[in-house]
Chains A and B, each alone.
Chain A
Amino acid sequence: MMAKKVLHSLTLNGEEVQVASAAGATLLETLREDLRILSSKRGCNQGVCGACTVLVDGKPVRSCLTLTARCVGHSVQTMEGMDGDQIMATLQRHMVESGGVQCGFCTGGVLISARELLEDNPSPTREAVKTALSGNICRCTGYRTIVDAVCGAAEELSQ
């Protein structure tokens, strides 16, 4: 069945966009299927795995649980719009260096969650990092290298 499409105006990675999406579409569907923004992944589509995490008005949210209609007039930011963000760049480098990326499916969501943590708490304990990433599921790494990367990035940023 063809779903009825509606025009939605929102700010995506700093640019005004108009996108035609199904009336009840989730932001994840709009991003991936209508805008071909592919950094946010569809894992569980239940808000559990964290792979679809993006920023809305600067706050991380699950794009699979957010309606596109709710984002009209709001600012959406994905990994594609993170160039030049110093915290993000540091986190990314540490993720690569410590082997926190394997298949990469969860990585974008992990980075966005970790970035929020470091903004709030520049020197978190390992325990705080684990708690902050509890909503991001990774099936490859076993998490240790991800926690190493976030702690390493925090240490470097606080110097």
Chain B
Amino acid sequence: MTEVLSPGTIEEAVAMLAEYGEAMPLSGGATLIAMRNAALVEPSHLVSLDRISDLRGIDRTADGKIRIGAMTRHCETAACAELTGSLYVLRRAAGMIANRVVRNMGTMGGSVANADPAADYLPALACCDAMLEIAGADGRRSLSIHDYIDDWYETALAEGEIITAITLPAPVEAPSTYRKIARVSGDYATASCAMALDPDGQGMRVAIGACGPGPLRDRAGEDALRGKLGEPAAVAEFAGKLVAIADPVDDVRGSAEYRLRLIPRLVSSVLSELTTQKETA
């Protein structure tokens, strides 16, 4: 039988997780409670994070960065006016998660911790070069989103650690967006694309979702592509590198082969959407 614990501080929460071996942290519950209902997980204790005020809210730090508390609900992120320009991609991704009711429940920290390869935040956060703030019984640390995913559903989070916040670089004026290919509105992505142009319009950052254990990002390829966004052959060559590092699954949402074919099309069509936006801005 599951006991529910409701700590008031991060320190209490990580101490409880360390004390009870079979305890799990509970954020919004949209995935974890579904898994428990299906007997996929059977935690002895659920350490509910919803009474910890330090995990809430979206703030601007002194150096202009945006700090999103891990318990921020998708509906709050989807409505956050601070997420503009280069960070709009994250707001857009939040608004495309599941449906309105689930967006009232699910949280960014919970989604990132669950690390579903087909979920929407990870590619958007990889595109933003986000940092994760992590707390455990041994203290706090921060980690780049690029060092976070180890394998399918395996992350750098150690047993008993929780994500406390997600930090984003200060937004700059540059178009960004998130697009997902899904069977129906509200489904997980078959493949997705998070993209932001550089402020001068000469380069871009792009992360592909649902085509491997974690988001696909090729930063060296992005550097090489700078100044050549208008050359379809160069863009195609770059997209080919993303295809080469992809490792998609075959599942009900699409075959691996179909997903590989989606990647170059997503890259070129989202790029043309953003360059048009830039030109008309």
Residues of chain B from 31 to 46 with CB closer than 8 A to chain A in the complex? 33-34, 36-38, 46
**Of B36, B48, B184, which contacts A134 at CB under 8 A?**
B184
Q: Within 8 Å CB of A53, what residues of B?
A: 101
> Which of B1-9, B124-132, B210-218 is found at the contact surface with chain A?
B1-9
A67 to B4, CA, bound (A): 9
Please tell me if B102 contacts chain A, counting CB pairs below 8 Å: yes
Please tell me if A104 contacts chain B, counting CB pairs below 8 Å: no
Given A46-B34, A135-B99: A65 and B105 within 8 A (CB)?
yes
**Interface residues contributed by chain A, number (CB under 8 Å):** 30
A79 to B158, CA, bound (A): 43
Least CB distance from B71 to A in Å reads 12
A22 to B3, CA, bound (A): 9
Least CB distance from A66 to B in Å reads 6
Please tell me if B50 contacts chain A, counting CB pairs below 8 Å: yes
A23 to B5, CA, bound (A): 10
Is B34 touching A67 in the complex (CB atoms < 8 A)? Answer: no
Across chains A and B, the number of contacting residue pairs, with CB separation under 8 Å, is 88
Is A62 touching B38 in the complex (CB atoms < 8 A)? Answer: no
Residue-wise, chain A 84-95 has the 8 Å CB interface mask toward B (1 for contact) of: 000000000000
Is B4 touching A50 in the complex (CB atoms < 8 A)? Answer: no
Chain A binding surface, main DSSP class: mixed
Residue-wise, chain A 75-107 has the 8 Å CB interface mask toward B (1 for contact) of: 000000000000000000000000000000000
Is A47 touching B30 in the complex (CB atoms < 8 A)? Answer: yes
When C-beta atoms are compared, the residue in chain A nearest to B26 turns out to be: A67
Least CB distance from A1 to B in Å reads 8
Given A23-B4, A24-B4, A65-B29: A135 and B101 within 8 A (CB)?
yes
A132 to B100, CA, bound (A): 7
Q: Within 8 Å CB of A1, what residues of B?
A: 1
Q: Within 8 Å CB of A61, what residues of B?
A: 101, 104-105
Please tell me if B186 contacts chain A, counting CB pairs below 8 Å: yes
Interface size class of chain B, counting residues whose CB lies under 8 Å from the partner chain: 20 to 34
**Of A3, A66, A113, which contacts B100 at CB under 8 A?**
A113
Is A135 touching B98 in the complex (CB atoms < 8 A)? Answer: yes
Residues of chain A from 125 to 157 with CB closer than 8 A to chain B in the complex? 130-132, 134-135
Please tell me if B202 contacts chain A, counting CB pairs below 8 Å: no
A9 to B185, CA, bound (A): 37
Is A70 touching B50 in the complex (CB atoms < 8 A)? Answer: yes
Is A69 touching B48 in the complex (CB atoms < 8 A)? Answer: yes
B contact set with A: CB distance below 8 Å: 1-4, 6, 26, 29-30, 33-34, 36-38, 46, 48, 50, 75, 98-102, 104-105, 184-186
A-B contact pairs, 17 of them (CB 8 A): A4-B1, A22-B1, A23-B4, A24-B36, A26-B33, A45-B34, A50-B99, A60-B104, A62-B30, A64-B37, A65-B34, A66-B33, A67-B29, A70-B48, A70-B50, A113-B99, A131-B186
A-B contacts besides A24-B4, A113-B100, 10 pairs, CB < 8 Å? A22-B1, A23-B2, A26-B37, A62-B105, A65-B33, A66-B33, A67-B48, A131-B99, A131-B185, A131-B186
A contact set with B: CB distance below 8 Å: 1, 3-4, 22-24, 26, 45-47, 50, 53, 59-62, 64-67, 69-70, 113, 116-117, 130-132, 134-135
